Amino acid sequence: MNRLWRWILAIGCALAVAACEKPGVDAKRIEAAAVGEWLSYGRSYDEQRFSPLDKVNRETVARLGVAWWAEFDTDRGQEATPLVADGVLYTTTAWSKVYAFDAATGKPLWSYDPKVPGEKGADACCDVVNRGAAIWKGRIYVGTLDGRLIALDAKSGEVAWDVQTTDKTRAYTITGAPRVIKGKVLIGNGGAEYGVRGYVSAYDADSGKLAWRFYTTPNPKGLPDGAASDKVFREKAAATWSDGVWKESGGGGTVWDAITYDPQTGLVYIGVGNGTPWNHKLRSGGKGDNLFLASIVALKPETGEYVWHYQTTPGESWDYTATQHIMVADLKIAGIDRRVVMQAPKNGFFYVLDAKTGALISAEKFVPVDWAERIDLKTGRPVEVASARYENGQRSNQMVGPLGGHNWHPMAFSPKTGLVYIPAQHGRGNYADPADFRYVPGGYNTGMRPNPAGPSAKPRPPAAPEPRNGELLAWDPVTQTKRWSVDFPHMVTSGILATDGGLVFHSAMNRFAGYDAASGQRLWSYDIGASAIAPASTYEIAGEQYLALMVGRGGAGGYDAPRQPGRLLVFKLGGTGKPPPYAVPAQLPPLDLKLATPSAGDADRGGTLYGAYCGRCHNNTPYFVALARSPSILDPEGFKAIVLDGAMKAAGMASFRRFIDDAETEDVRAYLLWRAKTTPPPKPVEAAHAQ
Ligand code: CA
């Protein structure tokens, strides 16, 4: 366009704004959920992740191929749902970066790097991921790992405003997508394992000014916060807490994922996480339900005022968060049309609640569960088995474990089949009370008995074989029964998309696949060359339907595959694009221990410290560096430079000087040298990947 034309157009637009400029994405557009677009994290406010597009359908899906792709500058986990509005695709990557592409051609339009400090990676339990952005009236909103909420111009990526939403002295992180409701941007945060107090905040979308905040645990000093949550804590919630570590830790209860708005009820539903520490006995003397941990809480989006709550796991003690995907739908139950809220939280029960009142309609096990027999429909409480609370020195090895029967990976609901599609997880968890416990600010404070480590530790008797598999599960929420399922040998698979083409899309074992939504028959699949955990989204431009998928392994429980650069793959019918194959990742060769400076450190003590501070990331090899194979342990000075002086902080390895001193660091090195000597070489990457 030349200058003259631009000038003429500018004058024309000034005369008739509506004719030239789209109004931007607002409530009407999100509520109308335009057929060809994807305007909010869960597509529409109800978060059903169901697209009415049907050009890609059971008959045509076999012709799906790559239309275009992009590769990113990070090999950390990718969890984002790409959004599409007005022909532009917006996505976020690990390290909270934002990218805009022409949605039809893949032409990069702009990108934005919030420059999250690398050492902030050590505050993230589950990788430096980001689940996506929000669009509202010409702006893109993103939460960052270091706790900021940022508004960007949708056309240029320029910063409109940037606010800190968290206390920077605590291990708060943001990985979840903001939602914009009634002109306010709602955002929560994570960090419950490390000692934070959870809350959700609403910021004015125009100005970035805080509108309201709702805390999910009581004020530790018993004071009012001057927040929307004050009234309900004063009237009922504070009394559900007793004396315990929560007064130091803040109690947890982070709102790190689900925030769902229902225009019909006018309520916003937030999903609340686990307690800090997990151990209820330590957290609150084993007393009280500890509201609002592990709860769905309904609020008024205008003010943050409390309306109702449903607590899935009273006295939460196992990392059984209720942060998981909350969706709203119309179901006919016992002949009556009901507006319902549905959730499959970590604890393994699928819940159907009345959206207006929070009354429990039904709850059944959607995966194998043995920590509770059932949910009592009268009280709404689980009927726990006696051993579940691991009291009096007992261990509990129970289904499910901390990764849950379902985690953040989004479900989808098809109003056509009436089924909810769940990326379900089968697994166990070990829980045990520690002999003593010291709360460490910013440390991994679960309140579990540490596993013995180091040369003098007696190996524990082998545990019962553990189920660790994943399942694409088609669940009938009316009858609370399984309709069909597909099993995978990996526990963690991807989020899900459902479409009116009679299809559900899901990724597992390096394959992105389309299934018949009614029968579960796999109709198409594509080798993405690496692992995807994110859900796909779909959109239409000029009569062609596209599917967009973020590829990149990471996140909780997702460390069992090699790291590869993140990619965005976009598919359409007849697409012939061929992204280059990934290189086979290099492996660290075994260490030549003759080169090691011997250590006089205490390897047993080092093993305990390793378990407390290092294992969270470094046990999950080959995703992170396996320290027993890292040349960094050969030399005490080089090891200290990394562990205490932050030599690798840009990559996420913060200085751990706030937790351990010089002598303790050498103890850890002594332990790792012992591990290097005694650990068999790891399986080749390919074999580990295919298991
Ligand atoms: Ca947790």
- Give me ligand 1 centre to Cα 390, in Å: 18
| DSSP 8-state secondary structure symbol assigned to residue 43 | B
pLDDT in the model for residue 20: 42
Q: How far is CA 554 from CA 223, 342, 497, 500, 678, in A?
A: 39, 26, 20, 30, 28
Distance between CA atoms of 61 and 425, rounded to whole angstroms? 27
Q: Higher-confidence residue: 73 or 611?
A: 73
Distance between CA atoms of 577 and 67, rounded to whole angstroms? 6
pTM, two decimal places: 0.94
- Give me ligand 1 centre to Cα 637, in Å: 35
Per-residue pLDDT tens for 476-492? 999 999 999 999 998 99
Q: Mean pLDDT across the stretch 355-369?
A: 98
What band does 498 get if pLDDT is binned at 50, 70 and 90?
A: very high
pLDDT in the model for residue 462: 62
pLDDT in the model for residue 211: 98
Q: What is the mean pLDDT of the chain?
A: 92
Contact 43, 82 (CB under 8 A): no
- Give me ligand 1 centre to Cα 510, in Å: 26
Mind telling me the catalytic residues? 319
Residue from 515, 549, 547 nearest 529 by CA: 549
Q: Mean pLDDT across the stretch 79-106?
A: 98
What band does 29 get if pLDDT is binned at 50, 70 and 90?
A: confident
Distance between CA atoms of 519 and 470, rounded to whole angstroms? 18
pLDDT in the model for residue 686: 42
What band does 687 get if pLDDT is binned at 50, 70 and 90?
A: very low
Per-residue pLDDT tens for 308-319? 999 999 999 999
Distance between CA atoms of 663 and 674, rounded to whole angstroms? 17
Other CB atoms within 10 A of residue 376 CB: 13
Q: How far is CA 304 from CA 200, 216, 230, 262, 571, in A?
A: 9, 12, 11, 14, 40
Query: CA angle 199-201-202, nearest 5°?
Result: 160
- Give me ligand 1 centre to Cα 686, in Å: 30
Q: Higher-confidence residue: 17 or 82?
A: 82
In 338-367, which positions are buried (b, 16+ CB within 10 angstroms) versus exposed (e)? bebbbbbbbbbbbbbbbbbebebbbbbbbb
The single residue listed with the structure tokens 């109003």 is: 415
In 662-675, which positions are buried (b, 16+ CB within 10 angstroms) versus exposed (e)? eebbbbbbbbbbbb
Q: What is the dihedral of CA 123, 124, 125, 126, to 10 degrees?
A: -160
Contact 414, 50 (CB under 8 A): yes
- Give me ligand 1 centre to Cα 270, in Å: 16
Query: CA angle 477-410-513, nearest 5°?
Result: 95
- Give me ligand 1 centre to Cα 126, in Å: 9
- Give me ligand 1 centre to Cα 123, in Å: 13
Residue from 255, 274, 384, 260 nearest 327 by CA: 260
What band does 6 get if pLDDT is binned at 50, 70 and 90?
A: very low
- Give me ligand 1 centre to Cα 321, in Å: 6
